Amino acid sequence: MLVAAAVCPCPPLLVPEVAAGAAPELDAARDACLDAVGVLAAARPDLLVVVGPGDESSGSDEPPTVGPYPPGAHGTFRGVGVDLDVTLGHAPDGATTAGRPLPQSLTVGAWLLGRAHWTGAPAEGLALLPTAAPEDCAEAGRAVAGRADRVALLVMGDGSACRTLKAPGYLDDRAAAFDARATEALGSADLDAIAALDAALAHELKVAGRAPWQLLGGAARDAGLAGRLLYEDAPYGVGYTVAAWS
């Protein structure tokens, strides 16, 4: 069953090498994420699953970045101009780490685990279709929670990208209210409110975290976890929320 969860944003700018001179602007978010990962370590899980949205499709019917990733899978920030590679946890002895690279969200998650010096349970990845139906996300969450006696989730995903005129999705007057509802739900572990997040509206507002959040909601059913909000802001016009559940 699920014993702990950390909710973190997944912009590459969270990585100081990527943010370069702007790195101090996200110090508070970065510190909050590391605190949330600390809650996962304290729960002493048997399995850690890093969940995030897959990268956008390049034209195929199903994005190749969707699906599971094994311990030891590799990710890179070379696509954003930084010669930095990361590994998701550690591959079992004798196992090969060759395979498809991690999508951006899981690459940032792998970087966070490395920054936190994660040495606990094996870490796996799961990338979701960003447009996955809420009920499918919840069902996937229940399946993940049933994989071990003590499961922890590192849930990567941003809020809306439409909070300001200079935001990636320009300004949308609905964005702040959506982010407020999502942040309140994530900070208080309100499973019904998470399940009720509007998938169509989230898509219009370019919310990367909606599907991973709803997977978390499904995984946490009957787990009795309490939530704690660690950070909330919208730098660069994108909603970032950090929360810890235990």
Per the structure block, which two tokens stand in for 221?
């059913």
The whole-number pLDDT of residue 95 equals 62
CA 18 to chain CA centroid, Å, is 18
The whole-number pLDDT of residue 166 equals 93
Domain span at 164: 1-243
Residues 152 and 134: their CA atoms lie apart, in Å, by: 20
Do 84 and 76 touch, CB atoms closer than 8 A?
yes
Report the amino acid identity of residue 208: A
The whole-number pLDDT of residue 9 equals 98
With b meaning 16 or more CB within 10 Å and e meaning fewer, what string describes 119-152?
ebbbbbbbbbbbebebeebbebbbebbeebeebb
For residue 81, give the CATH number of its domain: 3.40.830.10
Mean pLDDT in consecutive groups of 10 residues from the start of the chain, 246 residues: 98 93 89 98 98 74 77 95 94 69 97 95 96 97 98 98 95 98 98 98 98 98 97 96 98
The whole-number pLDDT of residue 130 equals 94
Do 154 and 49 touch, CB atoms closer than 8 A?
yes
Report the amino acid identity of residue 143: A
The whole-number pLDDT of residue 92 equals 76
Q: Return the closest-CA partner of residue 185 out of 141, 153, 232.
A: 232
Q: Return the closest-CA partner of residue 132 out of 57, 226, 37.
A: 57
Max Cα distance, the chain (Å): 53
Number of compact structural domains in the chain: 1
Residues 104 and 221: their CA atoms lie apart, in Å, by: 28
The whole-number pLDDT of residue 94 equals 56
Using DSSP bridges, classify how beta strands 227-233 and 47-53 pair: parallel, antiparallel or unpaired: unpaired
Residues 159 and 155: their CA atoms lie apart, in Å, by: 12
pTM above 0.85, yes or no: yes
The whole-number pLDDT of residue 5 equals 98
The whole-number pLDDT of residue 22 equals 80
